[in-house]
Amino acid sequence: METISPKTYAEILETINEGIRMLDKQWNIIYANQALCTLLGYDRNELIGMSVFDLYPEKDRNKVKNLYADRMKGQSSRYESTFITKTGQSLHVEVAATPIFNDQGEFKGSFTIVHDITERKQFEAGLRKLSITDSLSGLFNHRHFHMVLADELSRARRYKRHLSLICFDLDHFKQFNDCLGHLEGDNIIRLVGQNLSVIMRSTDRSFRYGGDEFMILLPETTISNAYVSAEKLRKHFNANWPFTEVCWKSNLNQVTLSLGVAEADSQDKTDTLIKRADLAMYEAKRAGGNRTVAAAFTIGTANGLNFS
């Protein structure tokens, strides 16, 4: 039977669209096909002799080294990781690697197929973002709020850190919505999202809780500082209200914010922290709206704390 020459094998590898590489037992690259060179942005002579670990980000290298140690014991592996291209771009890849042994059973290196899964990962990330985002406001949604709040409460207790919650809804929103229609009402919800993106810190996370009610989680924040942030948001919303003329012509009150602020204590669960922030918000509404009330630490009191 006719055997296939090494040259023919090499020609076959060059026709494959997946990245192919071969490593010696020191984990240096001794072969890379054109598909891998194109994927990583290197010339072939730049890849040959390079340590394979140089292609991985620092955070992944120990994990990969452990997998390579298993390879020396004869174990194949398939895993997902990240490669860094010549230009510094991160690529998500799936790697399938098989050890190579000579006729005497000595480990000589490995044969690896590299599949670019960056588009798949981006698609999955997009789906995840859709699942946790409120499409109207652009904020995180109710479901994601409860997941994040549970995580943040656990972290605050474990490390004895401050965590505050702002709960607010819109004064006169129903009147505005009923008079001018749902499309204009939707514009108000979008406006809230825009205000939050401008005013709140990058470490704060904002959520549309439902209807015209919103939540803001403020890690590493005392109740007094959360109160300041709430007031900053309220004043910014008032100062940048774009429907003054519309409200005047329709004899409508300007939509404003009633905000309640609460800080987690060591005994809080998600529902108790939400309830205290919610009670403070309703205290703000009962007092006439367009104001911020900070909650006392005991559930059941209607009395807020005033930092002004």
276 inside domain = yes
**Last residue of some domain: 122, 154, 170?**
122
Place of tokens 């039977």: 1
Does 175 lie in the same domain as 41?
Answer: no
Say how far apart CA 207 and CA 139 lie, in whole Å: 5
Does 277 lie in the same domain as 188?
Answer: yes
Does 205 lie in the same domain as 155?
Answer: yes
128 inside domain = no
Describe the strand order of the beta sheet including 291-295 as a list of residue ranges.
205-210, 213-219, 163-171, 256-263, 291-295, 304-305
List the domain range (segments joined by +) for residue 187: 133-305
Say how far apart CA 277 and CA 270 lie, in whole Å: 11
228 inside domain = yes
**Last residue of some domain: 77, 99, 122?**
122
Does 115 lie in the same domain as 38?
Answer: yes
127 inside domain = no
Does 286 lie in the same domain as 156?
Answer: yes
Does 111 lie in the same domain as 142?
Answer: no
Describe the strand order of the beta sheet including 90-101 as a list of residue ranges.
29-32, 19-24, 107-116, 90-101, 77-84
Does 104 lie in the same domain as 205?
Answer: no
156 inside domain = yes
Does 175 lie in the same domain as 144?
Answer: yes
278 inside domain = yes
Q: What is the pTM of this model?
A: 0.73
1 inside domain = no
Question: Residue 237 is part of a domain; what is its CATH number?
Answer: 3.30.70.270
Please name the amino acid found at residue 284. Answer: A
**CA-closest candidate to residue 280, choices 255, 307, 254:** 307
Q: What is the pLDDT along the chain (308 residues), one digit of tens a residue?
A: 456 566 666 666 777 789 999 999 899 999 999 999 999 999 999 999 999 999 999 888 888 888 888 888 888 889 899 999 999 999 999 999 999 998 888 899 999 999 999 999 999 999 999 999 999 999 999 999 999 999 999 999 999 999 999 999 999 999 888 888 888 889 999 999 999 999 999 999 999 999 999 999 999 999 999 999 999 999 999 999 888 787 777 788 889 999 999 999 988 999 999 999 999 999 999 999 999 999 976 544 444 454 44
142 inside domain = yes
Say how far apart CA 99 and CA 107 lie, in whole Å: 7
Question: Residue 98 is part of a domain; what is its CATH number?
Answer: 3.30.450.20
Does 54 lie in the same domain as 165?
Answer: no
Does 87 lie in the same domain as 221?
Answer: no
Count of the separate structural domains present in the chain: 2
**Last residue of some domain: 92, 122, 152?**
122
